[in-house]
Amino acid sequence: MIRQPIVAGQFYPDSPELLKQYLDRYIVKSKQKEPALGAVCPHAGYIFSGGVAGAVYGKLAIPDTVVILGPNHTGIGDPFAVMAEGVWVTPLGEVEIEEKLAALILNETELFSPDVNAHRYEHSIEVQLPFLQYFKKDFRFVPIVLSHTWYSNCELLGNALARAIKNFGQPVLIIASSDMTHYEPDKQARVKDKMAIDQILALDPAGLYEVVHTNNITMCGIIPATVMLVASKQLGAQKAELVHYATSGDISGDYGSVVGYAGIIVK
């Protein structure tokens, strides 16, 4: 399958030249690139969340293989859907799926299933690709869309992902695509988001899952972030760093109803 972009011209420019200009504006180019096991990056329109995503990608030493975990906003497709073969297209070119790693992931647990339908209209993975392409033209990736589920399944999925990456035998970066609190006053959003961010920084996936659900934090990528943390810990994660946090109010000036964006690196 050739997966065409669905939010080019909406979330980010569909012109390659204009898209590169946007990325130049949003990416903070760090002199010291850091290898990482995982990351949390937002997936809103670039005008709102591009600065947070750009701060993260500007610091990362991007390996040849990336796994991107995105939430299922559409409700379409299998609950834990791995697109196991094919190509994704953005205005900056094509990105091939790493079929060997995808097969290893699918072999580790029956919870993961090969499914393209969950990916057809889901934007959370797509918007990460131009940032990666900005720095690296020849990487491959495995896109996985995750529906909401119990914490016990997050542990099974994360452990399976970690085993597959170990068997793959090459460096892999796991990106959890997530925005934070949605459509609450700025001050309230920041308080809630800090509660979730603190759990990520503590490398506590169970704590993150519990805090988000107990406090009704509308973090859309809670399952991707939890699975990423479980997998990263199995792969040897020692610490996490909050690179940047902002809300849509910082751009729009409307602090009455905002969306929060956190950029975090796990290493």
Residues 6+ apart with CB under 8 A from 216: none
The one-letter code for the residue type at 112 is F
The pLDDT, as a whole number, for residue 218 is 98
Look up residue 125 and give its amino acid. Answer: I
Q: How far apart are the C-alpha atoms of 61 and 30, rounded to whole Å?
A: 10
Position 114 scores a pLDDT of: 98
The backbone torsions φ and ψ at residue 171, rounded to the nearest 5 degrees and listed phi first, read: -60, 135
φ, ψ at 32 (rounded to 5°): -105, 105
- pLDDT per position as a tens digit, 146-160: 999 999 999 999 999
Structure-token pair, residue 78: 């299998």
Residue owning tokens 């005008």 = 47
Q: Which of 215, 180, 141 is nearest to 42 (CA)?
A: 180
In this predicted structure, the answer to whether residue 32 has a pLDDT above a threshold of 90 is: no
* Residue in 53, 61, 60 with CA at minimum distance from that of residue 25: 53
Domains of the chain plus CATH, in order, are: 2-266 (3.40.830.10)
Question: Mean pLDDT over residues 90-97, rounded?
Answer: 98
What tokens appear for 33 in the block? Answer: 């690139």
Whole-number pLDDT of residue 31: 82
